[in-house]
Amino acid sequence: MSLITTRSRYGLRLLIELADRAGSAPIDLGSVARNQDIPELYLSKLAATLKAAGVLRSERGAKGGYRLARRPEDISILSVVEALEGRSSLLECTDDPAICARSGECRTLPVWSGLDKAINDYLRGVSLADAAVAVIDYSI
Amino acid sequence: MSLITTRSRYGLRLLIELADRAGSAPIDLGSVARNQDIPELYLSKLAATLKAAGVLRSERGAKGGYRLARRPEDISILSVVEALEGRSSLLECTDDPAICARSGECRTLPVWSGLDKAINDYLRGVSLADAAVAVIDYSI
DNA sequence: CTTTAGTAGACTATTTTGGTCTATTAAGGA
DNA sequence: TCCTTAATAGACCAAAATAGTCTACTAAAG
């Protein structure tokens, strides 16, 4: 398995660091890759994907880099995961009925659709701002 | 991806058919494989896994087969998915802190732990009896 | 003692994951 | 105008997971 692969995990770490270091200048991926111990060439592909999804903006050339396209409160983790994992839902047949050609009435579909909804509801409800909170106090 | 692979999908279809056809005699996998259009040898491996997990009981030899080990109301979909996908949680680092050796305080972990909980809560709350309801009326 | 059906485990093809490599384009600064 | 920095594009690749298959064996019914 994984619903959440290194793509989402690395991607979220990138976004949190961009949120932390947000300012007037864009942030180059090389520094993020070093700080986060993520292969830079791999990270650059993830950043390009997030840019295509409208989550990041970039500036090329010397002193260039990436910055968040929106405020952290306005970036849902769902949009990040969907962009990086490249799929709209848990099961293909949830979207595309043609895949489950055989049985007209699929009795397992409601279970998986419900799971899909539970996952999406959770991820939609968490923003980058929530994730980027410096310290989470578990003792409360 | 998938959190839910053919293992869980085929497995749930097997369990629903076993629930439907429950009676005095055990049900042979061959008939289920034909009805559900699932490769029999593959299905037999899934059934063996579900037996090892305590979800199914079996009888060998002619007229043998499988039956549910418990009532459908007492079989959670979570136990089925966990048995067949063979993992206890979404992320290894949720269970095993040794994997995330680098950063002492991981800021992405709360997000993924929350997702893991959302998934497990949902799957724990759905039983085979819920899944095996003959017709689900979506029009309500 | 033959047939049916579960059991055990090695084996395999395909896809996905997690990258790498090379080359190019754009912008800043000397 | 070069030189350097850094994003962009896309082919490439190794390892792991997925989705099976194959063979041989064991147990029970008739």
Q: What confidence category does residue B58 fall into, taking pLDDT thresholds of 50, 70 and 90?
A: very high
The more confidently predicted of residues B134 and A10 is A10
In angstroms, the CA A21 to CA A112 distance is 39
What share of chain B has pLDDT > 90, as a percent?
Answer: 76
Q: Is the pLDDT at A137 greater than 50, yes or no?
A: no
Kindly report, residue by residue over A72-98, the tens digit of the pLDDT.
999 999 999 999 998 756 666 655 555
From chain B, pick out residues whose CB is under 8 angstroms from the CB of A4: 90-91, 112, 115
Kindly report, residue by residue over A104-122, the tens digit of the pLDDT.
578 898 999 999 999 999 9
The more confidently predicted of residues B88 and B83 is B83
Kindly report, residue by residue over B19-33, the tens digit of the pLDDT.
999 999 999 999 999
Topology of domain B6-133, CATH: Arc Repressor Mutant, subunit A (1.10.10)
Q: What is the mean pLDDT of chain A?
A: 88
Locate the domains of chain B by residue range: 6-133
CB contact under 8 A, B130 and A111: yes
Span A11-25, average pLDDT: 96
Q: How far is the CA of A60 from the C1' of C25 (A)?
A: 9
How distant is the Cα of A45 from the closest Cα of chain B, in angstroms?
A: 18
Scan for tokens 């949902």, then name that residue.
B122
**Which residues of B have a CB under 8 Å from any CB of A?**
1-5, 9, 12-13, 16, 37, 77, 85, 87, 90-91, 102, 105, 107-108, 110-112, 114-115, 118-119, 121-123, 126, 130-136
Kindly report, residue by residue over B8-17, the tens digit of the pLDDT.
999 999 999 9
Burial (CB count <10 Å: 0-12, 13-18, 19+), residue A34: exposed
Q: How far is CA A131 from CA A9, A77, A79, in A?
A: 12, 8, 14
